[in-house]
Structure 1
Amino acid sequence: MRSLACLTLVVAFWLGAVLAPGQGARADDFAGLARGQFEAIAGGVATLAASGDPQAESVLHALEQRRLFFTPSGGLFIRQGEVYRDARTGQPVSPVPDMIAPVRLNNRVRKALVAAWAERDLSSPLVAKRLGAAEALYHRPDPAMLPAIGRVLSGEKDRAVRSALVRARAATILEQAPAPDQVAARLEAVASLRAAGGLEARGILASVAASASEDAGVRAAARAAVSRIDWTLRVWGVLQNAFYGLSYGSVLLLAATGLAITFGVMGVINMAHGEMMMIGAYVTWMVQQGIRMTVPGLEPIALLIAIPVSFVVCAAFGVLIERGLIRFLYGRPLETLLATWGLSLILQQAVRSVFGPTNIAVETPSWLSGSFALGGMEITLNRLGILVFAFLVLGGLMLVLRRTALGLEMRAVTQNRRMAALMGIRTPRVDAMAFGLGAGLAGLAGVAVSQIDNVSPNLGQSYIIDSFMVVVFGGVGNLWGTLAAAMALGMGGKVLEPTIGAVSAKIAILVLVILYIQRHPRGMFPVRGRGIES
């Protein structure tokens, strides 16, 4: 009888443990989380993630957000504001149990959480989710996920997801401790990461190459892969800087085309040309602010609206400057230079007095924000937009110069002013229109530069010297020369900067331009005409 009573008591305890309220048939799936040891918590995460329990996702989210609590008796609770819910059932709990403590997180537990979400998402019908899960496993490899990766990889059809899974498997294999029977697999993983390239792969391979416990052949393969990736990264780095140089050269192109026109038609060195850029940038900011306050629905296209407004405002300024100042100083280059330099100081101080001395930022519209990868390069949309915009402006300017009466008159005055006047061309009117056109182009440069630089009263001073250098280097009055010189100087400076520094790069470019001008005084593409050759 006594043995029967003991057996009955044991069965009763077992049934009570299994069928206790709030525990259910899946009590053990949650038990690992109700512990104080990190290893047990990480194991509990994996167990719960694989259980399929309807409460699993909310519990793991609570753990990730530090809202999961446990008691020494094995209770598990989710805090939602001031309310605590039983993690196993989702039902509110009142009163709150005594001796409740948060379930702790460390890197091991976080890695288990990443693996849990990744394993769930690897089976998603959405390609984006599967790709994100594979990338997560690549960045935080977990050897426990290796079988799951292999299963998913065998049936994956999408090329991008397969590539990410191959990288994740390689990183996971190399994360494991080296073993003699794993040499072939580790060599294959090294080859996969070498083909993948990138800083992440380089870091993993560098660790393998430096590991004393690694097989000598695997270490040698890892060192060779690191050298190959370093060379590839250097090449992509040069191309990335060249892209930055193209966007900078595009701004120089917009600024220098205006100088090429005014200098080519009138022979005037306009030191206030940079301030036209600055005014164009401030007009862009004012248009953006005005639209935001009056017609907020048009804010996404505020930048497009600012383009013609900046051109018209700056062109009007240019005509006023030519009619009010420059026309009295033709034939006196030194006085013109000093007068326009003084005008630039006046314009800077006027803007400083109206808008303040601090920088202001022109917001980039959403359709110009972000970037995309091109090989090992990151192509930012705002810089790509500036490049496209500069070429569109250059194409429009060429149409004006070649297909309109004003363009024909400007080309005639550029080649031989006296002959053009004798043919009935009103050269003073051409001078005013040319100066206005040049100033308007500088305003467009201001619109472009507002997307990659802060707007301040000193904005124009940062570009005026380089713009003059572009005009002289390319050939005064020649737009093709201006294009070639702007891109050459823009890319040359940006490519040299990482190697010798920004200041040294500018000095080197200046020296090279001077040496070139010594041999070719008229620049790369000199304008030919009787007035110039005589």
Structure 2
Amino acid sequence: MKILHKAMAAALGLLLSLSCHALTAEQAFAMAAAEDNDARAAAINAAALEPDEGGRLAAYLQALADDAVRTAGGKAYVIQGERTIDPATGTAATLPADAEEIVNNNYLRGVIESAQAALALTSPDVQARRAAAKKLAEEPDAARLPLIDKVLAGEPDAQVKAMLERAKAASLLGSENTAERLQAVQQLAQIHTPETQLLLNQRLADESDPAVQKAIRSALSSIAESLAWGERLGAIFSGLSLGSVLLLAALGLAITYGLMGVINMAHGELIMIGAYATYLVQVLFQRWLPDSAFGWYLVVAVPVAFTVAALVGAVLERGVIRFLYGRPLETLLATFGISLVLQQAVRSLFGAQNVGVENPAWMSGGVSLLPNLTLPFNRIAIIVFAFAVLGAVAFMIARTRLGLFVRGVTQNRAMASCVGVNTARTDTYAFALGSGIAGLAGCALSQIGNVGPDLGQNYIVDSFLVVVLGGVGQLAGTVYAALGLGVLSKLLEGWAGAVLAKIAVLLFIVVFIQKRPQGIFALKGRSAEA
């Protein structure tokens, strides 16, 4: 029945478009408010084909959409608060006592929205024209073909023209002419989008001509292959994004666990502290600085998150962990208790509910590479940030005095102490550095999800898996393990689902560690075992 209504509306719209110049504005508005739905839809389509002088039609369509139109004696009236307006003249009018409300069904609301989009095609704003063209392409209607041809003749924007070409081809899919349908399928076959795929699938179910059916199947095959590549690339990007998050979360743990052999179960809470430090900086910018400065809050939050988490880590090492070296079980239990204390402290200060951290304007949106592949700017920024942090840590370990002490203590603590290295101070500095990196991870995670007391618990297990798989104390191994696990997880999720993918990754790590206990990269040194 709905298809029949559309066909009747399209036919009436085309007939009226040929003689629309004979309709006065008052007649067009009255027909748009007629009781007969087909006549009303046809009048709306016909009126949308003509220039909208003074914006009267746009205002009338909006009134129809808002259910603010009344009709009496074949004439339409628009209600504006306490006033009644004659839409044909724009002047005040008296509402008859027997006026009835116009009630739109879903089909007519779609007709109104399409007509509003058609009127927007003449807007001087290119973004408005693009949005209007997209709307028409999503809801093709043969009654719009004269308007689309008219706009295409003078449209300078390539994106609008491409969208209108798609709308035209989609509208011709329902043509009674087989040649036109074949031409429409050939044009749509070049547009590899999920919307086009859905449109062609719908047409295939109603198509009776064998030649057109064959063309549609060929087009669907080509579109499916293109979309499959977009899905594969999207999975790889998602894996790299997840891997960069795991890298940030595990990088600090690789330093502390690799240097001192401390099983720090409070590492996740250090990530949480960095996220809450970012939240506080955001609140500070929102309350005390002008709106124009808000985009810079993340630049300030990065060193703040590092410093706060590093200070907490230094206090943790000097107050508890330094007394437990060489006793991994006691260290595990102590840090687990500390993690519970830190979680409860955050709940007491900020509440148990999650807090929202907004993305700066320059991190909102994304870049579209394929019709079904958009790379969010916040994810791209986190990937770049993760490798920037990795580069800074690698430089510090390889080129600075502190890095030399850390490497010396890692390879042979007793010998480093004999040559004058203050191993206790090195332990504190290294633990503070690892904690600060965890704070940076929390700062990054605040940009892609909610911040709450349980934030760190989602990453502590994965962080240990990354460190163990990559090789204890090996930055290169941490990078390979984090990125590898991230990409592998996302690829498996697309094939087997999130739960089975998680199980498969865990089984892979167990088997790998059984075959190679030292991880991807073994620790090298005079005291290291071959």
Partner of 2:88, secondary structure, is coil
Contact 2:52 2:119 in 1 (8 A): no
1:147-203 CA-partner distances (Å, limit 9, x unpaired): 332344355454322321221111111133xx3xx2232122222222212221112
C-alpha distance in 2 between matches for 1:421 and 1:65: 80
Cα displacement string for residues 465-522 of structure 1 (whole angstroms, at most 9, x for unaligned residues): 1001111111222222211211111222122224323222111001112222223322
Distance 1:251 1:31, change over 3 A: same
* TM-score (normalizing by structure 2): 0.89
CA distance in 1, matches of 2:280, 2:449: 16
Moved more, 361-370 or 377-386: 361-370
The 2-side partners of 1:349 and 1:46 are apart by 62
User: Aligned with 1:373: secondary structure?
Assistant: strand
| Number of equivalenced pairs | 504
1:497–1:504 Cα contact (<8 Å) kept: yes
Cα gap change, 1:146 to 1:398, in 2 (>3 Å) = same
Percent identical residues: 46
Distance 1:25 1:381 in 2: 51
1:359-398 mapped onto 2 (5 Å cutoff): 359-375=354-370, 376-398=372-394
- Point out where structure 1 has 5 or more consecutive residues left out of the alignment: 1-23
Aligned pair 1:317/2:318, yes or no?
no
Query: Which of residues 454, 470, 479 in structure 1 aligns to 2:475?
Result: 479
Counterpart selection for 1:259 from 219, 229, 253: 253
Whether the 8 Å contact between 1:310 and 1:443 is mirrored in structure 2 is yes
Match of 2:215 among 208, 211, 221: 221
Deviation at 1:118, TM superposition (A): 4.1
Gaps of 5+ in 2: 1-22
- Tell me the residue number matched to 1:506: 502
Task: After TM superposition, give the deviation of residue 108 of structure 1 in Å.
Answer: 4.4
Measured after TM superposition, the shift of residue 314 of structure 1 is: 0.9
Which stretch of the first structure deviates more once superposed, 154-163 or 185-194?
154-163
In 2, the alpha carbon distance for the partners of 1:52 and 1:268 equals 74
1:275 is matched with which residue?
269
Deviation at 1:52, TM superposition (A): 4.4
Instruction: Provide the rounded CA distance (Å) in 2 between the counterparts of 1:159 and 1:83.
Output: 43
**What's the secondary structure of 2:523's corresponding residue?**
coil
**Alignment-mate amino acid for residue 166 of structure 1:** E
Distance 2:106 2:141 in 1: 12
- Higher mean C-alpha displacement, 357-366 vs 160-169: 357-366
Q: Is residue 398–residue 404 contact of structure 2 (8 Å, CA) maintained in 1?
A: yes
1:85: how far off? 1.1
**2:170: which partner in 1?**
171
CA contact (8 A) 2:118 2:136 kept: no
Deviation at 1:224, TM superposition (A): 3.1
**Counterpart of 1:268 in 2: which secondary structure?**
coil
Question: Residue 203 of structure 2 aligns to which amino acid in structure 1?
Answer: V
Greater CA drift, 353-362 or 137-146: 353-362
Paired residue for 1:459?
Answer: 455
Q: Deviations over 1:222-265 (max 9, x none)?
A: 23333443343333223323323322222211111101111222
Query: Residue 96 of structure 2: SS of its match in structure 1?
Result: coil
Paired with 1:410 and 1:47, the residues of 2 have a C-alpha distance of 78
Following superposition, the deviation at residue 463 of structure 1 comes to: 0.5
Which deviates further from its counterpart, 459-468 or 491-500? Answer: 491-500
SS of equivalent residue, structure 1 residue 69: strand
Paired AA for residue 224 in structure 1: S
Q: In the alignment, residue 299 of structure 2 is paired with which amino acid?
A: L
Asked whether the equivalents of residues 141 and 175 of structure 1 are also in contact (C-alpha less than 8 Å), the reply is no
- Does the alignment pair 1:102 with 2:101? yes
CA contact (8 A) 1:114 1:137 kept: no
Counterparts of 1:525 and 1:320, CA distance in 2: 31
1:205 offset after TM fit, Å?
Answer: 0.7
Judged with a 3 Å threshold, the aligned counterparts in structure 2 of structure 1 residues 64 and 495 are, in CA distance, closer, same or farther, namely same
Q: Is the 8 A contact 2:117 2:135 kept in 1?
A: yes
Distance 1:456 1:27, change over 3 A: closer
Determine which structure has more spread, i.e. the larger CA radius of gyration: 1
For residue 78 of structure 1, give the secondary structure of its aligned residue in structure 2: strand
- Given that residues 174 and 181 in structure 2 are in contact (C-alpha distance below 8 angstroms), is that contact kept between their aligned partners in structure 1? no
Calculate the TM-score normalised by the size of structure 1.
0.88
Residues 1:56 and 2:57 are matched in the alignment: yes
Corresponding residue number in structure 1 for 2:86? 86
CA 1:258–1:75: 2 relative to 1, 3 Å: same
